[in-house]
Amino acid sequence: MQEQVLEATQATGASSKPAQRLFIPGPTDVAPAVLEAQTAAMIGHRSDEFEALFAKCQEQLRRLAYTGSRVYVVASSGSGLHEAAIRNAVGGRVVCFVNGAFSQRWHDTAVGCAKDVVRVDVEWNSAVKPEQVEAALAEALRDGPVDAITVVHNETSTGVMSPVKEIAAAVRAVSPETLVMVDAVSSFGGVKIEVDEWGLDVMLTSSQKALALPPGLSFCAVSDRVLEKASKVTGRGWYFDFLNLEKALKKNTTPSTPAISLMRALSVQLDRIFVEGVDERFARHQRLAERTRQWAIEQGFALMAEEGHRSVTLTTVTNTRNISIKQLNAYLAQQNMEISNGYGVFKDKAFRIAHMGEVVDADMTRLFSAMEAFLASQS
Ligand SMILES: Cc1ncc(COP(=O)(O)O)c(C=O)c1O
* Residues 67/195, Cβ–Cβ less than 8 Å: yes
Predicted confidence (pLDDT) per residue in 306-315, tens digit? 999 999 999 9
Number of domains forming the structure of the chain: 2
Ligand 1 pocket residue status of 79, Cβ below 6 Å: yes
Q: Which pLDDT score, from 0 to 100, does residue 218 have?
A: 98
Residue 350 maps to which CATH number?
3.90.1150.10
Q: Looking at ligand 1, which atom is closest to the CA of residue 208?
A: 10
The pLDDT-based confidence of 379 (bands split at 50, 70, 90) is: confident
Ligand 1 pocket residue status of 156, Cβ below 6 Å: yes
For residue 360, CA distances in Å to 26, 34, 71, 146, 349 come to 16, 17, 28, 43, 27
Predicted confidence (pLDDT) per residue in 273-309, tens digit? 999 999 999 999 999 999 999 999 999 999 999 999 9
Ligand 1 centroid distance, CA of 374 (Å): 30
Ligand 1 pocket residue status of 102, Cβ below 6 Å: yes
* Mean pLDDT value across residues 356-363: 98
The Cβ of residue 147 has, within 10 Å, a number of other Cβ atoms equal to: 21
The Cβ of residue 365 has, within 10 Å, a number of other Cβ atoms equal to: 13
Is pLDDT at 322 greater than 50 in this prediction?
yes
Ligand 1 centroid distance, CA of 88 (Å): 19
Q: Tell the burial category of 39 from Cβ atoms under 10 Å away from its Cβ (0-12, 13-18, 19+).
A: exposed
Specify whether 291 is located in the same domain as 358.
yes
CA distance 13 to 16: 6
Ligand 1 pocket residue status of 312, Cβ below 6 Å: no
Residue 49 maps to which CATH number?
3.40.640.10
Task: For 229, list phi and psi in degrees, rounded to 5.
Answer: -65, -45
Ligand 1 centroid distance, CA of 185 (Å): 6
Enclosing domain of residue 235: 34-273
Angle at 126 between CA 121 and CA 131, to 5 degrees: 70
Establish how many alpha carbons lie within 13 A of residue 248's alpha carbon, considering only the half-sphere containing its beta carbon: 23
Q: Which pLDDT score, from 0 to 100, does residue 215 have?
A: 98
Is pLDDT at 3 greater than 60 in this prediction?
no
The pLDDT-based confidence of 6 (bands split at 50, 70, 90) is: very low
Ligand 1: residue whose CA is nearest its atom 8: 78
Domain boundary (230, 245, 273) is at: 273
Annotate 348-360 with b (16+ C-beta within 10 A) or e (fewer): eebbbbbbbbbbb
